Structure 1
Amino acid sequence: MVSPMFRLETEVDNARRDLLRRRLRETNTAASPVLRALRGTPGERESALHVWVMDSDGALAGGLVGHTWTTWLHVTYLWVDARHRGAGIGSRILAEAEALAVTGRGARHARVETWDFQAPGFYRRHGYEVVCVIPDYPPGITEYTLTKTLR
């Protein structure tokens, strides 16, 4: 039960979300020797990483949205249009993202979450290993977390 001194709110508030994230990061950094050692270094900062492939008509054929943080590349989304699947575009996009993360940002590892009907086999073929399996998330689906050591 919330005390009368507090007000519970449920609306989406991006400014509060960002404040909460900053404060959580500050708390985590203060509690972790590793994160404290990284404070202020370029590797500590989260940095967006995007790779886009356009077809000959200029339409989006595929892309990757992710970010790097500390020594990790986190692949958030990787998608290839159905018309272009099987042509190696996804492999090229992933390889480019990994290369950018390693050479430009010092990443040594990568991680991705995917569902059983999406691409766990694709990531395995590219050297990723399953480190977590969550069955029935969402119901009827299995989620996989995969990681890879980058060279």
Structure 2
Amino acid sequence: MFRIEAEVDKGRRDLLRKRLRETNTAASPVLSALRGTPAEREAPLHVWALDGEGGLAGGLVGHTWTSWLHVTYLWVDARHRGAGLGSRLLARAEHLARTERACTASRLETWDFQAPAFYEKQGYEVVGVVPDYPPGVTEYLLAKRLR
């Protein structure tokens, strides 16, 4: 007999994530060969741009896992767009991922109204498309080999 619940529970979420990673690692020869636990192989990577007063002009939030950089958020304040700041933030994150964390590739998701063309100019290629997610919008998965 099971009881099914639908509630936000960060402790259970973390336990589920841990157990899923352990299962995946045990089932994958590639993941099993990597040093450290799954949690040890994932590390946050943040890059910030501050204006002259120390305010947030832009930033990139992501993490590295195995040999990949995953860009979660990249944002530049409207006052600073068009000046190359987004390119500089992304390039810095890629450089850190490649040189300090031995990453060989990067991935990210973006919507059609955001920045797919920007990322393509930075060398990313569309590797997946999810139409109507959310309704009326197309989501793109892009990837890039880091050299």
Which interval holds the TM-score relative to the shorter structure?
over 0.9
- Tell me, yes or no, if structure 1 residue 62 matches structure 2 residue 49: no
TM normalised by structure 2 equals: 0.96
Which amino acid in 2 is paired with 1:11?
E
- Provide structure 1 residue ranges, at least 5 long, that are not aligned to the other structure: none
Distance 2:9 2:81 in 1: 38
Which aligned pairs between 1:73-84 and structure 2 lie closer than 5 A? 73-84=69-80
Which amino acid in 2 is paired with 1:51?
V
Distance 1:109 1:61 in 2: 26
Which aligned pairs between 1:100-119 and structure 2 lie closer than 5 A? 100-119=96-115
Query: Runs (4+) of structure 1 moved beyond 4 Å?
Result: none
Query: 1:39 deviation in Å?
Result: 4.1
Query: 1:11 deviation in Å?
Result: 1.5
TM normalised by structure 1 equals: 0.94
Q: Show the counterpart of 1:6.
A: 2
CA offset digits 1:66-117 (Å, max 9, x no partner): 0000110000000000010001100000000000000100000000100000
Q: Secondary structure at the match of 2:24?
A: helix
- Tell me, yes or no, if structure 1 residue 121 matches structure 2 residue 110: no
Q: Kindly report the root-mean-square deviation, in angstroms, between the aligned alpha carbons of the 2 structures.
A: 1.5
Contact 1:115–1:144 (8 Å) recurs in 2 = yes
Q: Show the counterpart of 1:90.
A: 86
Of 21, 31, 34, 1:38 maps to 34
Which amino acid in 2 is paired with 1:147?
A
Aligned residues: 147
Between Structure 1 and Structure 2, whose CA radius of gyration is higher? 1
